[in-house]
C-alpha cells in the first residue's frame, strides 16, 4: 500500500476489503509523481508495468474515473468497488506485456507509462473536434449560441461567457442578423444568433449581439475562432433589417446587404460559415407539422441564391455556406444546383434536435445528409429544448422557472412548454436520475453521441449554466451506456416529438 492517508483510508474501508475482485493500489512516490492510482489486475505487477486500459488517476478528477467514463466524486456519494464497473475492464495479465517491455528498465518504463496514462485521462476531459461536412473547418463538438447577448446578458457578461467557452476549447460561435420572436414574425421561431439577435427582437437592440462579439474578438486571434452567422429568410415583418425594403428575401441584394452589415458589426473581414436562417420559400416550421400547399409563394431559385453566395466567396468575405431550418427537399435542391452549375455547395444544416424533437431530422434528413450522400453536417440547436429538458420548468412556481426566458417572454417557444412536452420531460428527468446522470448530461450526451451531429449549439445566461452545459460533454459517459439508450428509446416510443403543435 502507498504511504498516504487516503490510501490507508481506502485500505481500511469495508468496501475495499469486501470486494471479490483483486485490487491493488500503487503509488510511484517521489516528488514528481504523487497520486493515488486504482488498478485492477489479474496477476502481480511486472516491473511496475500494467495495461493502460485498466488505470485511472484519482487526483486528476477529484474522484474516481471508472472505465465506462462515470465520474464518482469522493464528496457526498457512497460507492463500492463492485459498483465501479470492474467487469467492464479488459483485464490483461502483465505477462502479455513482458516481451514488449522486458528490455526497458523498470523506472524508465514506469515514467513512460505514467505520462501515457496522464495524457489519456486529460484527453477524456477535453472537447472533441469534427470536420464540418466537406469543408476544411474543424469545429468543436460544442458551438456557443449567443442570442441572449444584449437582452438577457450585458456586454461584460457576454465577454465572460465567450472567454470561458474559448478557454474550454469551444472554437465555434453562432450568431445571426435576426432572431425569432413571437412579436415580430408570423410563426414561432427559435435560432441561435443572427443579425436579428438579441431575443426578443426590436429595432433598437437588433444587432447588439454582433457588436458584443465583435469587440470581444478584437483581443483574440481571428484564425482561432470559427464565426458562423445567418442571413434572414423571407419575412414581411422584419423589413427594418434592410434599407427601404418592403419584404426581406434571400436574393443577391438582400444577401449582400446582410453580409456587409454583419461584417461591420462583427469587426471582421470574413465570415467562416454563412447560413440561410430559414428558407425563402414556404416550409412548415417551428412546431408546424403539416405542409400547407395553400401557403405556397414565389421564391428565389436555388441557383440564384448560390450565385449570390459565390460572389461573396470570390470576394473573400465568406468561406463556406449552410442552411438552417431546412427540409430534405431543400438540402437536395441546393446540393443538386451546386453540382450542375459549378456553384458552392452547402456544408451544414442547423436544425432543431433534442430528446423531444427528433422525427424531423431522423425520418429522412439523416439519409440525405450522410457523408455517403450529400455530406452535410448537423449543427443541432435547442438540444435542451429551450432549457425545458433541464427540468427547471416542471415546477412553474420555482424562482429559476420564473426567471427563465419561456416565462420572461410569454408565447416564446411555447411548443416546448406544452403539457405533453412537460410530461415527456418529467420522464426523461426520471431516467437520468435512475442512471446517476443529471438531466443536462442525458440531454446533451444524447445529441453529442448521434453519428450525424457535427456540433451541438448551447446557450447560457449565467456562468453556472455555461459550465454545466460544457462539462456535460466531458463528464457524461462517452458514449452513453446501452441501458440508458434503451431507456431513451422506450420513452421515444411513448412520446414521439411531443413539441409538435
Q: What are phi and psi of 71, to 5 degrees?
A: -95, 115
| Residues 22, 32: Cα–Cα separation, whole Å | 28
H/E stretch holding 80 reads: none
Strands annotated E in 191-234 = 226-231
Q: How far apart are CA 313 and CA 307, in angstroms?
A: 10
Q: How far is CA 175 from the centre of its chain?
A: 15
Paired with 228 in beta bridges are 174, 273
- At residue 239, the 3 state secondary structure works out as helix
The answer to whether the CB of 129 falls within 8 A of the CB of 141 is: yes
> How many other CB atoms are there within 10 angstroms of residue 76's CB atom?
5
Phi-psi region of 311 (alpha: psi -120 to 50; beta: other; left: phi over 0): alpha
Nearest to 149 by CA among 217, 82, 99: 217
The span from the CA of 382 to the CA of 372, in Å, is: 27
Which is nearest to 146 in space by CA: 219, 205, 212, 231?
212
197 is catalytic: yes
At 465 the three-state DSSP class reads: helix
For 192, residues 6+ apart whose C-beta sits below 8 A from its C-beta are 143, 145, 146, 147, 174, 175, 176, 179, 350, 381, 457, 459
Q: What is the DSSP letter of 6?
A: H
Catalytic residue among 197, 393, 412, 416: 197
Identify the CA nearest to 353 among candidates 393, 383, 331, 326: 383
Q: Which residues are catalytic?
A: 197
Amino acid at each position: 500500500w502507498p504511504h498516504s492517508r487516503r490510501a490507508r483510508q481506502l485500505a481500511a474501508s469495508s468496501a475495499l476489503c469486501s470486494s471479490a475482485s483483486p485490487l491493488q493500489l500503487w503509488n510511484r512516490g517521489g516528488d514528481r509523481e504523487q497520486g493515488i492510482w486504482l488498478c485492477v489486475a489479474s496477476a502481480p505487477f511486472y516491473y511496475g508495468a500494467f495495461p493502460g486500459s485498466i488505470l485511472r488517476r484519482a487526483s486528476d478528477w477529484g474522484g474516481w474515473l471508472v472505465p465506462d467514463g462515470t465520474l464518482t466524486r469522493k464528496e457526498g456519494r457512497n460507492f463500492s468497488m463492485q459498483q465501479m464497473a470492474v467487469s467492464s475492464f479488459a483485464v490483461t495479465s502483465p505477462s502479455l506485456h513482458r516481451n514488449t517491455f522486458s528490455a526497458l528498465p523498470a523506472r524508465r518504463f514506469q515514467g513512460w507509462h505514467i505520462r501515457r496514462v496522464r495524457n489519456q485521462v486529460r484527453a477524456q476531459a477535453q472537447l472533441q473536434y469534427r470536420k464540418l461536412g466537406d469543408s476544411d473547418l474543424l469545429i468543436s463538438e460544442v458551438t456557443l449560441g449567443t442570442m441572449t447577448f444584449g437582452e438577457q446578458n450585458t456586454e461584460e457578461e457576454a465577454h465572460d461567457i465567450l472567454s470561458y467557452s474559448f478557454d474550454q476549447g469551444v472554437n465555434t460561435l453562432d450568431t445571426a442578423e435576426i432572431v425569432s420572436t413571437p412579436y415580430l414574425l408570423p410563426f414561432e421561431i427559435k435560432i441561435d444568433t443572427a443579425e436579428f439577435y438579441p431575443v426578443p427582437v426590436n429595432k433598437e437592440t437588433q444587432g447588439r449581439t454582433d457588436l458584443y462579439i465583435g469587440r470581444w474578438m478584437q483581443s483574440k486571434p481571428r484564425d482561432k475562432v470559427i464565426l458562423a452567422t445567418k442571413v434572414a429568410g423571407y419575412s414581411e415583418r422584419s423589413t427594418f433589417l434592410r434599407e427601404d425594403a418592403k419584404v426581406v428575401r434571400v436574393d443577391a441584394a438582400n444577401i449582400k446587404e446582410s453580409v456587409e452589415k454583419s461584417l461591420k458589426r462583427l469587426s471582421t473581414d470574413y465570415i467562416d460559415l454563412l447560413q440561410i436562417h430559414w428558407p425563402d420559400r414556404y416550409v412548415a416550421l417551428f412546431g408546424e407539422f403539416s405542409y400547407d400547399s395553400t401557403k405556397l409563394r414565389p421564391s428565389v431559385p436555388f441557383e440564384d441564391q448560390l450565385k449570390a453566395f459565390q460572389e461573396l466567396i470570390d470576394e473573400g468575405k465568406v468561406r463556406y455556406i449552410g442552411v438552417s431550418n431546412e427540409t430534405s427537399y431543400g438540402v437536395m435542391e441546393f446540393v443538386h444546383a451546386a453540382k450542375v452549375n459549378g456553384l458552392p455547395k452547402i456544408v451544414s444544416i442547423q436544425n432543431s434536435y433534442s430528446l423531444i424533437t427528433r422525427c424531423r431530422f431522423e425520418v429522412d434528413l439523416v439519409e440525405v445528409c450522410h457523408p455517403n450522400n450529400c455530406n452535410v453536417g448537423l449543427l443541432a440547436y435547442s438540444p435542451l429544448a429551450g432549457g425545458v429538458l433541464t427540468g427547471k420548468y416542471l415546477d412553474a412556481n420555482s424562482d429559476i422557472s420564473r426567471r427563465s426566458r419561456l416565462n420572461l417572454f410569454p408565447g416564446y417557444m411555447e411548443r416546448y412548454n406544452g403539457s405533453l412536452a412537460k410530461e415527456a420531460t418529467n420522464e426523461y428527468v426520471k431516467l437520468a436520475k435512475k442512471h446517476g446522470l443529471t438531466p443536462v448530461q442525458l440531454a446533451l450526451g444524447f445529441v453529442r453521441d448521434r453519428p450525424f451531429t457535427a456540433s451541438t449549439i448551447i446557450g447560457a445566461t449565467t456562468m453556472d449554466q455555461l459550465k454545466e452545459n460544457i462539462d456535460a460533454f466531458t463528464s457524461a459517459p462517452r458514449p452513453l451506456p446501452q441501458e440508458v439508450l434503451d431507456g431513451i428509446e422506450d420513452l421515444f416510443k411513448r412520446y414521439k416529438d411531443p413539441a409538435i403543435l
